[in-house]
Structures are given as structure tokens and as C-alpha cells.
Chains A and B, each alone.
Chain A
Amino acid sequence: MTNNSNENVIVRTITPLTIRQIQLSTESEGNTFKIDNEFVMNVSLVGTVIKVLDGNTYTNYTIDDGTGQLKIREFKRHKQNNMEEEEQQQQPQEEGGEGENKSKAKEIENPFENKYVRIIGNLKEYKNQKSFSVTKITEITDSNQITTHFLEAILVHLQRIKGTLKKEQTSSQNSQIKEEKKEIQKETNNNNNNSNNIITQQNTNQILGLALKDKALRLISSNQTSSGISLQELAKELKSTEEEIREIVDFFLDQGQIYITIDDEHFRSTD
């Protein structure tokens, strides 16, 4: 959801991205970024951790997702303020050119190093530079998530530049049933409104036939015994002939909604 006011743009979705997209993103409105011409704030990435710099108040990771590399920062929840004052020297191996006083950051063995991770975070601007702050970082244990992430990134990218897909047609059966239901509704309305209305025998049979089918299916579905309900029982309950019931069960058997049990005169619902 985007709030389209000029000053504060609030984007509540998480956008799956590639690092290349972040590199190409354009800055606008101070603290927000645009990718494919849409505002992004919360972002998900999937990549490998190639470097970890562990500080007192934050951990810096360098992530490579195959499309580029990105430095990201995860703030630690508990700050150790005392230690921050004592250790204000910069380590020679630190990189990044953020030349302000930092706590001593060391390279230590981190469980994410050289592993695939999933990152959720925010793209922000910090001292005129793009910075990425991590909300959550988790190791990927099912590698298919790598594939899905990139598929999602492609999908969102295409949706944003080309527009969403048209909704697919519902299965022909569904639409048929819907149309039949509409017809029944129309007919019953007509019946109620106009007592002089002559309904042809064909229409009546159509309507009754559909109603009978529904009842038959309901009866079969409600039968919980292992041998199911028999043809004779159905004929009796529905006050219909065995031939008519035979036609109905054949229809449902073809549709796969019921199956035969002990013999071809006993049926159970597949639900």
C-alpha cells in the first residue's frame, strides 16, 4: 500500500530484489528509494555472506547474491556503551571509508559466513550514501528458497514495468455451474413474480434435474459408512427412479466426485 502524499511516503510491502536493482535504484524524497519507478522501503534479499565485521553496536555484513555485492548493517539490540567509550581506535583492516569514531570491529567467526542467507531490511540514506539496515537475517536451509526469491524478484520487476497479468479464466466446469445457478435463480424469480408464467417442460426438467443432482451429491457425501450409499437408497430418498439415479451417479463418477465401493451400486464421495 502506498500513501501518495508528497512528504511522507509509507510503503508497507516487502519487495524482493537483487543487489543489482539496489545499485540501480534512484533516490528521491530524502529517505526513500525508487526501483522500477515504485517506492521501496522494506526489501528482501537472498545471497551469500562473504564478509563479517562484528562491532559492539552493529555487525557489518558483505553480501553477494550473484548480481553484485552490498554492505549491510545489522544493529545489535543491546548496546554496550561503556566499551564504546574505551575503544575508539580504528582497525587498519576496516573498510568502507566511514571515517568517524567507531568501536573496535573485529572479524570473528560468524555462523552466516559463506552460507546462503535471507535478509529483510531497509534501504536508507546515510550521509549521502545508500545504506542498508538489516531487520532480520536468517540462514537458508531449503535451497529452493534461492530459486523462489529470484523468481519473485523477476515477477515483481515485470509487474512494475509491464502491469499485472489478467486474471485467468476459471475452469469451464466452474463457469458452467455458475451459469446454471444463475439460470435457476432467474427461473425461480420468474416463478415467484409471475404466476401466469408458463414454464416449458424442458426448463422444469432442467431445474429439477439440477436440484436432484445437488441432493444426490449431498446424500452421498453425508454417508460416512465404508460401503457407502446404494443406488436403491438414493432412489428411495430422492423419490426418483433407479434409471434417473443411475444417470446422476454416472455423471458424478465421470467428474471424479464419487467412487464405487463394494460394487457398482454403492457410492462414496471423494471429499
Chain B
Amino acid sequence: MSSATPRINFKYLSQFEGKTIRIIGKVGEKQGNNVILHTTDNGQVIVDRSKNLEKNYQTNIVEVLGIWNNNQLRELTFFNLSDNFDFTTYNQMIDLSMEHKEIFM
């Protein structure tokens, strides 16, 4: 059986220290190998892209899959999402998935 890479947003990050997670947000400014991701619930996450630099984000909104450690998200891979992605509904879905973890993780 394989392990889950849960979808979370900024407010749940503290519960997933050291874990591989997925987080969605708007691509912000670049700082060397890092990029700021503005999460769907208005948080800011520093994404360390050093392992994945050859691939560029191709859309304004991306889902980053990475390891959350020491206040940084070390990117493993990412997925381009459409510009019409609704943040509010997504946040609500995340909250619901946390209430029903039995089918998510």
C-alpha cells in the first residue's frame, strides 16, 4: 500500500512537519532558488525549488508537492492549474477532508 500525500492549506501546515504534502497557491516572487507561494487561505510559503529548477511553473496557480520542513516546502514536483481555480471552495473542501480523514489518508 502506498502512502498519502495529503492536500492541505496554510493553517494545517503545523500538523504535517516533516511530511510530504500538497499545497495550492498563487505563484509569487522568486528569490534565488526559492519561490513564494500565496496559499489558497492567504498564507505565504517559501518553496525551495532547488531539486526541480529545470521545470518552470507554467500557470499563475500551481499545486506544489513537497516535504514540509523547518518552515520551507522542499519541492518534489508541481502541477499547473487553471486560472479560474476557486480558492474558497477549495479551502472548504480541505476542511471537510480533514473532518473525514478516513477516506483521505
A-B contact pairs, 16 of them (CB 8 A): A18-B104, A64-B5, A66-B4, A66-B5, A66-B6, A67-B104, A67-B105, A68-B2, A142-B82, A143-B81, A147-B90, A150-B93, A151-B89, A154-B93, A154-B97, A157-B103
The reply to whether B85 and A144 contact each other, CB–CB distance below 8 Å, is yes
The reply to whether B79 and A114 contact each other, CB–CB distance below 8 Å, is yes
| Residues of B near any A CB (own CB < 8 A) | 1-7, 22, 61, 77, 79, 81-82, 84-86, 89-90, 93, 96-97, 100, 102-105
Which residues of A are found within 8 Å of B86, using beta-carbon distances?
144, 147
Pairs of residues from A and B, 7 with the lowest C-beta to C-beta distance, nearest first: A143-B81, A69-B2, A143-B82, A143-B85, A67-B104, A67-B4, A147-B90
The reply to whether B82 and A147 contact each other, CB–CB distance below 8 Å, is no
Closest CB of chain B to A142's CB: distance in Å? 5
Partner of B79, one of A18, A67, A115, A144: A115
A23 within 8 A of B: yes
Which residues of A are found within 8 Å of B82, using beta-carbon distances?
141-144
Which residues of A are found within 8 Å of B4, using beta-carbon distances?
20, 66-68
Query: 14 additional contacts, CB 8 Å, given A20-B105, A114-B79, A143-B84?
Result: A20-B102, A64-B2, A66-B6, A68-B3, A68-B4, A114-B77, A116-B79, A116-B81, A141-B82, A143-B81, A150-B93, A154-B96, A154-B100, A157-B100
